[in-house]
Amino acid sequence: MIRINGQFIQDSQLNGIQVTAKQRPVLNNIASNQTVYDFYTLDELVFEVTVRANTTQASYDLLQSGVGFADFEHSTCNQALWTLTREGGFLLKPSVSPQRGIDDIFKNGSMYSFECAVAIIIIFYKATLDSIGAASFNQLFRGLYLFSWRYDEDLHLISHSGSEFLPGDCVYFNNPDFNPLTPEWRGENTIVMDYDLYFGHGIGIAPGAEIIKSLNEQRRPRAVLSAYLENRITHPEYRYLR
């Protein structure tokens, strides 16, 4: 349910909200959930819908980019733009704009490989870039460093519990009986694409049951605990980015 400045938006009013065809399903999803989503203004709602739609598009684009999956020890990047740190992170070179650095991952994907948490951060950066434009992005994200959940603080990622997911949310599939020889499969960070459809780097776009099946194939010998979807949601603080 959507509430703007204390007033609930009725179903009859949804069609009057100006969004694109790709953004419309996100708006309808927000409106149909039982959770109440509060906004100060209509513009604030439209901005969140825009970023969420751009997040699902960035997930699809990353899947199509040719980037590889690797643990931190074996991560790779375009070292003309990024410095590969000893811990397996990517530090943007001072002469390179943040916009160019992020876009290069999608344009020259075969030069990059990383694990799923890094993929989520890259997706959130790309969605933000496509939502606020290069000039604002370059000003906001100077000194860009990509490494697990150590993101630029200006992205303002927030996490909370919940079971009603929206497109653009990051949710986590936990694999408690993962094989210690392959710790990168202790779980999978994913982006919600649609109802029961998720993007996970290294797995692709799949229903939840398929992601759980993939993780269960990476468990230790004689494992008894199945992977499962946690009720934890992570996304940027849209109000701050706007």
Given a cut of 90, whether residue 154 has pLDDT beyond it is no
CB 115 within 8 A of CB 74: no
The total number of residues shown for the chain amounts to 242
Question: Residue 156's pLDDT is what?
Answer: 87
Residue 63 maps to a domain:
no
Given a cut of 70, whether residue 149 has pLDDT beyond it is no
Residues 6+ apart with CB under 8 A from 98: 92, 125, 129, 137, 138, 141, 142, 144
Residue 231 maps to a domain:
yes
What's the whole-model pTM score? 0.94
Residue 15 half-sphere exposure toward CB, CA atoms < 13 A? 2
Q: Reduce the DSSP state of residue 35 to 3 states and report it.
A: coil
DSSP conformational letter for 207: -
Given a cut of 90, whether residue 113 has pLDDT beyond it is yes
Residue 30 maps to a domain:
no
pLDDT confidence bin for 27, thresholds 50/70/90: very high
Given a cut of 90, whether residue 55 has pLDDT beyond it is yes
Residue 61 maps to a domain:
no
Q: What is the pLDDT of residues 64-108, one digit of tens each?
A: 999 999 988 899 999 999 999 998 899 999 999 999 999 999 999
Residue 56 maps to a domain:
no
Residue 222 maps to a domain:
yes
Helices 98-107/116-132 angle, 10° precision? 120
Question: Residue 12's pLDDT is what?
Answer: 84
Question: Residue 150's pLDDT is what?
Answer: 60
Residue 114 maps to a domain:
no
Q: Which residues constitute the domain of residue 227?
A: 159-235
Q: What is the count of structural domains for the chain?
A: 1
Residue 24 maps to a domain:
no
Residues 6+ apart with CB under 8 A from 135: none
